[in-house]
């Protein structure tokens, strides 16, 4: 059985009654259980690929093949490795399994597996974990499978396939028009059809402007999207943010349990370089992430994925951004301390306590690290 992109309206991508049944269950699981549509309506930008792996490929699909087909394990073409070995030759259920980066770091797909649970991961083989993409193509060519060698790289969201995302999401959400507003002065510079079509950092093709505009912030209540002029505008950069409770693939890091602080590396886009960060426990359900340098377009709804050396430790959903560089004084928008405290003074469900804020300043000297982006 092969999992492939499915269009439930045209039945593309599946053959066989059993596979169509699985596809229907999978789609309902992703759209329903993950609150995917609710996230888009609320101004978040979820990561459907991470959610698909968590809810479908490594949950619904695994249960299906185990219970309906009596399969002992599954094999996947993800470029990743585990401590159990490519073919589970080092299986040790007592010790548990760790998710590791593959040999081909350029094709590393552990980012998309960062929400997978321990049990399905223990039953998964990664045959491509210790080979590179070029080696795979060579093996395919030598085996007479030239069609695989010539096949284009798959891109886009897995369960949407080649369809246009804006058209796809509009089939499920009603457009709610709003304004594009310049984040520097609040003036209206354009109109949009709905927030769910846009994500932080995305270029907005608004005519008649000296510089291109990019999405800096979305306001669900008013349907306004605040846009910044220029790709390096300080409103697009932040150095710390809040996440929901992390999912740890094997177990929580001991320093985090014992001391409430843990240093590791992080990324929120799978193609971007890893950045050093520090995790600080705020409550049982929230973690504060501080970075060694500001990053552009960190996006609520996306996942912060954590690494230590060769291991992918897990991930956490980004729920709230800290002040941007603009708010912290870069660009002449007001006193740094005032901007920081305005973030701290948000309602408890939206912001940090003063104790947490002080910890950020004390441990990481966030404010003095501001730098000009040119």
What is the tens place of the pLDDT at every residue in 6-45? 443 333 444 445 555 555 555 555 555 457 888 988 899 9
* Greater model confidence, 289 or 282: 289
Contact 64, 41 (CB under 8 A): no
Structure tokens at 302: 């996306």
Contact 235, 324 (CB under 8 A): yes
| pLDDT score for 15 | 43
Contact 123, 62 (CB under 8 A): yes
Confidence tier at 210 by pLDDT (50, 70, 90)? confident
Mean pLDDT of 175-184: 95
Confidence tier at 371 by pLDDT (50, 70, 90)? very low
On the question of pLDDT at 94 being above 80, the answer is yes
- Residue 279 CB neighbours (<10 A): 24
Catalytic residues: 52, 158
How does DSSP classify residue 305?
E
On the question of pLDDT at 128 being above 50, the answer is yes
On the question of pLDDT at 5 being above 60, the answer is no
**195-208: pLDDT as tens digits:** 999 999 999 989 88
Greatest mean pLDDT among 9-23, 51-65, 115-129 lies in 115-129
Confidence tier at 172 by pLDDT (50, 70, 90)? confident
Angstrom distance (rounded) from CA 23 to CA 28: 9
Structure tokens at 181: 């507003």
Please tell me the pTM assigned to this model: 0.82
Whole-number Cα distances in Å, 117 to 84, 124, 128, 254, 258: 15, 11, 20, 19, 23
| pLDDT score for 17 | 54
Mean pLDDT of 268-281: 94
- Residue 353 CB neighbours (<10 A): 12
Contact 374, 232 (CB under 8 A): yes
Mean pLDDT of 303-308: 98
Confidence tier at 225 by pLDDT (50, 70, 90)? very high
The C-alpha R_g of the chain, in whole angstroms, comes to: 22
* Greater model confidence, 90 or 329: 90
Contact 182, 190 (CB under 8 A): no
Confidence tier at 368 by pLDDT (50, 70, 90)? very low
Angstrom distance (rounded) from CA 222 to CA 238: 23
CA 335 to chain centre: 32
Instruction: Give the percent of the chain with pLDDT over 70.
Output: 76
| pLDDT score for 332 | 42
Mean pLDDT of 226-239: 95
């Amino acid at each position: 059985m092969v999992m492939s992109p499915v269009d439930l309206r045209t039945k593309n991508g599946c053959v066989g009654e059993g596979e169509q049944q699985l596809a229907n269950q999978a789609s309902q699981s992703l759209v329903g259980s993950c609150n995917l549509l609710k996230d888009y309506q609320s101004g978040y930008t979820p990561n459907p690929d991470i959610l698909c792996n968590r809810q479908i490929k490594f949950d619904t699909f695994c249960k299906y093949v185990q219970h309906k087909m009596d399969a002992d394990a599954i094999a996947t073409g993800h470029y990743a490795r585990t401590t159990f070995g490519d073919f589970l030759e080092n299986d040790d259920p007592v010790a548990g399994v760790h998710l590791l980066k593959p040999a081909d770091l350029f094709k590393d797909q552990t980012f998309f597996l960062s929400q997978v649970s321990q049990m399905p991961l223990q039953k998964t083989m990664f045959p491509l974990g210790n080979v590179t993409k070029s080696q795979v193509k060579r093996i395919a060519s030598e085996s007479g499978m030239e069609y695989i060698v010539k096949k284009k790289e798959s891109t886009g969201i897995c369960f949407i396939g080649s369809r246009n995302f804006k058209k796809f999401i509009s089939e499920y959400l009603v457009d709610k028009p709003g304004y594009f507003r310049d984040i520097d002065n609040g003036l209206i510079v354009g109109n949009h059809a709905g927030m769910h079509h846009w994500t932080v950092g995305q270029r907005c093709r608004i005519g008649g402007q000296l510089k291109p505009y990019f999405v800096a912030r979305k306001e669900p209540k008013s349907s306004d999207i605040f846009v910044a002029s220029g790709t390096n505008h300080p409103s697009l950069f932040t150095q710390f943010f809040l996440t929901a409770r992390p999912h740890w693939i094997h177990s929580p890091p001991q320093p985090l349990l014992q001391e409430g602080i843990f240093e590791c590396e992080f990324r929120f886009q799978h193609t971007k370089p890893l950045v050093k960060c520090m995790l600080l426990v705020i409550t049982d359900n929230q973690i504060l992430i501080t970075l060694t340098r500001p990053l552009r377009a960190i996006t609520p709804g996306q996942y912060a994925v954590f690494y230590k050396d060769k291991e992918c430790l897990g991930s956490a959903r980004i729920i709230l951004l800290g002040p941007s560089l603009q708010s912290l004084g870069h660009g002449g928008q007001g006193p740094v301390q005032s901007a920081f405290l305005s973030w701290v003074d948000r309602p408890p469900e939206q912001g940090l306590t003063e104790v947490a804020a002080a910890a950020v300043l004390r441990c990481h000297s966030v404010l003095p690290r501001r730098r000009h982006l040119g």
